[in-house]
Every structure is written in structure tokens, then in C-alpha cells.
Amino acid sequence: MSKKCEICGKGPLFGKNVSHSHKKTLKKWKANIQKIRIVEDGETKKTNVCTRCIKSNKVTKA
């Protein structure tokens, strides 16, 4: 499954965890991507959409 929203383009973010001793390790934050059926141009299709787009009604569920 793609790790990118097909509506807004939101994808994974990269950074570092910082411990108490200030040691830094790499970290990846993944977007909450769901595969849902949406209606687009009168036809239904499955797309990868983030939950923010689903909640803000940027897509219409089939």
C-alpha cells in the first residue's frame, strides 16, 4: 500500500528521537492512510486517503 494520500499528498515525516542522554536515533512518523472506496466523477474507485481528508469531507465515501 502506498504511504501517501492521493488527495492532499501527505506522506511520512522523518526526524530523530532524542533520549535523556541526548543520543539521537532516526525516527519515521507515518501518516494514517486508509484504503477506501470514494465517488469521483460519478464512478467509484479505491484510493489511499489520509484520515484528515476523510474527516474534513474532502472525499465522498461510496
Burial of 8 (0-12, 13-18, 19+ CB in 10 A): middle
32 is written with which cell numbers? 494514517
CATH architecture for the domain at 1-62: Roll (2.30)
pLDDT in tens, the chain (62 residues): 679 999 999 999 999 999 999 999 999 999 999 999 999 999 999 999 999 999 999 999 98
The residues spanned by each domain of the chain are 1-62
Would you say the pTM of this structure is higher than 0.85? no
CB-based contacts of 56, cutoff 8 Å, min separation 6: none
16 φ, ψ (degrees, to nearest 5)? -135, 140
Rounded CA separation 59/62 (Å): 9
